[in-house]
Structure 1
Amino acid sequence: MTTLATGSTTARLPVLDLRGVTVRYGNVAALSRVTATLPAGEITCVLGENGSGKSTLVALLSGLARHVEGKLMVDGEPVRFRSPRQARAAGIATVWQDLAVAPLLSVWRNFFLGAEPSRGHGPLRRLDLERARATTVSALARVGVMGLDPDAPASTLRPGERQSLAIARALHFGARALVVDEPTAPLAVPQQTLLLQSIVTARSQGLAVLLVTNTPRYAHLVGDRFLLLAHGQVAGTLTREDVDVADLTRLMAGGEEFSALTAALTALHPELGER
C-alpha cells in the first residue's frame, strides 16, 4: 500500500488514477479527457449506454489500448501499458465479459494456468497435485463457490462460477485492482448473486474494483462510486450517498433528464466536479 505524507497526516494514494485520459481509434476519440479515481477497498461501477466508452476503459486498464493524452497512474506513478502482461504485472486483473476457459482442462488447471505448485528440487521436482487441488478449493470457497470438484472439467462450470474462478485466482495471486466487465449473457439470480458476492469479497480484501455494468439495481447494491459515461466522456461522478437506485436508473435513461440531474447534483455538491 502506497501512502503520501502531507503535514501531520498520511493520505493513501489511489491504486488507479486517470487524469484527463484520451484514447483514440483513428480520428475517433473513444475516451475523451476522462478523469476517475479508483481507491483501494472500494467498488467503482461504470455505467453507460453502448458506445459510451466502457469497453475502451476496460481495454485501457487491461493493457489492450493506449492513451494518447492525459495520465494513467498506478500508485501515483504514470504508466503506459503496452500489453496485458504489463497490466497483470502491475497488479491489475481483468475478468472479461465472455470469459474464456480451457473447457477440457480441470478446474484446478484453469485456476493455476501455468503457475502450478511443485515440490522437490532439480530432477526430483514434480507437480504437487494435492496442494493444487486444496488451494483451488480453498480459494473458491473464499469467494463463495462451495462444493466444486477441482478435478472436474471447466466446461461443467456455470457462467457465474467461471467469473468467480477468475476473481478467486486474482485474489490468490496478489492482484491489487480488479476490472470486471459484466457478462453480456444474462445470468440467473443465483449466478448473479455469486458473481456479486465474489466482487464484494475482493473489495473486502482491499482491492480497487471497477465493475462495468448496465444494471443500476446491481450497481447500487454493491457500488461505492458511480462513473457515468456518455459518448466517451464523463457525464457524472457520484457516490452511493448522492443517489438512490431510482435516481441511478433515471440517469441511465439518458437524455435531458440525465443532464439536468447531473447538473443539479453537481451544483449541490461542487466537489463532484473536481473528482
Structure 2
Amino acid sequence: MSGEAQGAPPPGIGEALRKARLEQGISLYALGFDLNISVRILEAVEADAWEKVPPGRERPYARQIAERLGVDLEALSEPWSRLPGAMEQEPPDPRRERLERVLMGGLTAATILLVLWLVVPGRSLRRERREELTAADRTPPPRWTPASPAGPYPVVGEVLPEAPVNEEGVLVALRALDTCVVTIAQEQGQPPQARVLRISDPWQLRVKGPFSVAIDNAGVAVLDVAGRRIRHGGAVGEAWTGKFTGTGELIVPEAVPPNRPSTPPETDQEEE
C-alpha cells in the first residue's frame, strides 16, 4: 500500500505547528526566545509528546505558539479536541434538572407571596398605625410640675441648696447683670473683700459676724443673704450699702423725724 498506513492517527496539533514554523524559516531557538519558552518544551509540543509538557500547560502553550506562527486552531478542531486538558462536560441528569425546576418554581411562588403580603396587609397596618398616631395626638401630654427645692432657701447659682447659716458663717450670693464693684466688710477686724462682677458673673461666699455689703452699681446686682433676696431698691449707676447682723438680718436704719420749725418762746407781756 502506498501513502500512509491504514489505521495511522491523523497528524496532531504539534505537527501542524512544526510545519508552519519550517515554512516560515524560524528556528526553535528563535521561537523560544520570542515566546520565552524553552526549546525542550517546543520540541515536546511539535512531537505531540504532551506527557513531557507540564500538566495544565498543554493548551496554553499550543495556543501561544499558534498565535505567534499564525495558525488557525479553529480549522484544527478535531486534533485540538484530542489535546490534553479539555474539560469534559457531564451528561445532563434528568433528576437534577427536575429538582432545579421545582426549586425555581418554589422560589418564584415565595417571592410572589411576599410581594402580596407587603402590598395588601401593609396598607391595613399603615392605616392602623396612622389611627394610633392620631389617637396619641388627641391625648394631651401630662403636665410637667417642677420639683420643689429640698430646703426652704434656694440659693442663686447653686445646684444643691446649702444651709443659709452654719458654723462657717452667713451665706452671701451675688450675681451681676452688668459690670459693678462689690465690697464686703466685716466688723471683726477682717480685711474687706472686693470683687469686680461682670455680666452673669456669680460670687458666693460665707461671712462671719456682722458685716456690710457695698455695691457701686446697685441697679445691676442681685443680692441674696442667708437664702433671702435683698430688695435694696438701688437704681442703675446708684451706689448702695447695707449692714447685716451675724445671722444675715438686714439692719434697717431708724427713720429720723423731720425737724420741726422752732417757735419763739412766749413772753409774758407786762400789763400796762
- TM-score of the superposed pair, with normalisation by structure 1: 0.20
Give 1 or 2: higher strand fraction. 1
Larger Rg over CA atoms: 2
| Greater relative contact order (CA < 8 Å, ≥ 6 in sequence) | 1
